[in-house]
Amino acid sequence: MFRVRLQEVALPTSDRDIDSLTAWFIDTLCLVRKRGEDMADHGIANPVHRLLRDYLFTQPEVGWDAQMLADELALTPASLNHHLARLVQSGFIGYTNEGKGWRRYYLRGGSLTKAVEIFASQASIIVDQRLEIIDTHWGRNNPRLVLELPEKDRPSLMLGIADHRPLIAESGASALSQWMGDFGLLGERPGKEILADSISVQLFKLMLTRDAPLSLDEAAQELGGQKARIGRILERFRCSGMIERIPRTDRLAVALWNAMTTQHQRRGEDWMLKKGGFQRILNGQQQTNLLMALKKGKLTIEEVASAMKNVDPQQQMLLLNLLGGRLPLGHRMNGEDAAQVQRNVRDSLDRVLRRMRRVAEMLESELSS
């Protein structure tokens, strides 16, 4: 069964250090779980690192006997089998039972670059096929915001990829929750989150049907969970490339009202006219109406929205900035339809695969020299 967890890692700073290039592959394929601070040797003495660097990458044409590898790496057969099974599941390593004795493991394709191409083909096909489930659950009407602002701090990709398999009825999972677990949306060890009615599954269903971006407060009120927990779940969703976090320009009037009332109480009318941007952006009638309502303490969100009706959204954002206000952030599906979400995930995956091809070429070049 093909199963791998991909992490987007920056290209190595050195193209001539075999250990750095090998470690990059290990980090990208999440073959070793790191705990706490990085180890003093940066993982070079790790058995997975030595297995790849000294055996599979260095001599890709050789089939390595499992018993011999266990002796060379000073590992128990069970420990070695665990590492080899992870590599076999990822599609990089194959094995044969031909002849007698232990299994013999080898790098697929006979070279690292060919192994990467095999891996890339499998991963791409599986992702394309399994992302079709989004289309069956899609329920958004895809309304555009008044002002569309792109996401600024997109996280690095963290994506699980696994073959489709039949659903086990007694597991308590649904087709959607099993799919979410395979794609890493439920964390590395899902536990009870794999259940069909878990809060992660409910939240993802809500994202698939909700038009407006979802804030943490709204999610907590809708699902009854804690904001901190929901925030961690949404961050996992973002790392998959399926969810984006954007400024909620649909809440622009609320943000302006809050900034106006706060600054009027703190700094007064003269500051709002000169430094607060009223004279720069608003006409005389708009300034008078808003300041009169502020002076009486009766300014409402509806009055702000009415006054801003003829003001360009970009100018409203500038006014909000001058007043020292900020827009709340919300989460939504990363695409106006299911097909666009699939394309965005595939683009992120392709970026990681391009890096894998580049590092494989660099590593082969260095090993051959």
Q: What is the pLDDT of residue 298?
A: 92
Positive/negative CA dihedral, 138, 141, 142, 146: negative
Q: Mind listing the domains of the chain with CATH numbers? A: 3-122+358-368 (1.10.10.10), 139-245 (no CATH), 251-322 (no CATH)
Return phi, psi of residue 237, to 5°.
-60, -40
Of the candidates 85, 93, 140, 98, the one whose C-alpha atom is nearest the C-alpha of residue 119 is 93
Average pLDDT, the chain: 90
pLDDT at 37 > cutoff 70: no
- Confirm if 98 and 70 have CB atoms less than 8 A apart: no
183: tokens are: 């794609």
Phi/psi region, residue 140 (left: phi>0; alpha: psi -120 to 50; beta: rest), is: beta
**Residue 342 neighbours by CB under 8 Å, 6+ apart:** 128, 131, 132, 134, 335
Region 290-319 average pLDDT: 92
Q: State the Cα–Cα distance between residues 189 and 209, nearest whole angstrom.
A: 26
Confidence class for position 259, pLDDT limits 50, 70, 90:
very high
Confidence class for position 103, pLDDT limits 50, 70, 90:
confident
Interval 121-135: pLDDT, tens: 999 999 999 999 999
Q: What is the pLDDT of residue 65?
A: 86
pLDDT at 201 > cutoff 90: yes
134: tokens are: 């989004």
pLDDT at 348 > cutoff 90: yes
Interval 50-85: pLDDT, tens: 999 999 999 888 888 888 888 888 888 888 888 999
Region 273-295 average pLDDT: 92
Residue 111: what residue type?
S
Of the candidates 73, 76, 74, 110, the one whose C-alpha atom is nearest the C-alpha of residue 93 is 110
Q: What is the pLDDT of residue 100?
A: 66
pLDDT at 42 > cutoff 80: no
pLDDT at 172 > cutoff 90: no
DSSP state of 214: B
Tokens 């660099």 — which residue?
Answer: 362
pLDDT at 110 > cutoff 80: yes
pLDDT at 38 > cutoff 70: no
Q: What is the pLDDT of residue 283?
A: 92
User: CA dihedral in degrees (344, 131, 183, 57; nearest 10)?
Assistant: -80
Of the candidates 236, 192, 189, the one whose C-alpha atom is nearest the C-alpha of residue 331 is 236
pLDDT at 294 > cutoff 70: yes
Confidence class for position 101, pLDDT limits 50, 70, 90:
low
Q: What is the pLDDT of residue 287?
A: 93
Of residues 41 and 362, the one with the higher pLDDT is 362
Range with the lowest mean pLDDT among 24-38, 200-214, 304-318, 351-365? Answer: 24-38
Q: State the Cα–Cα distance between residues 231 and 200, nearest whole angstrom.
A: 11
Q: What is the pLDDT of residue 96?
A: 86
Region 316-325 average pLDDT: 93
66: tokens are: 């499992």
Tokens 């500051």 — which residue?
Answer: 271
Q: What is the pLDDT of residue 36?
A: 47
Q: At what angle do helices 338-368 and 18-28 cross, to 10 degrees?
A: 160
Region 141-152 average pLDDT: 82
Q: What is the pLDDT of residue 341?
A: 95
pLDDT exceeding 90 applies to what percent of the chain? 67
Q: State the Cα–Cα distance between residues 266 and 274, nearest whole angstrom.
A: 15
pLDDT at 231 > cutoff 80: yes
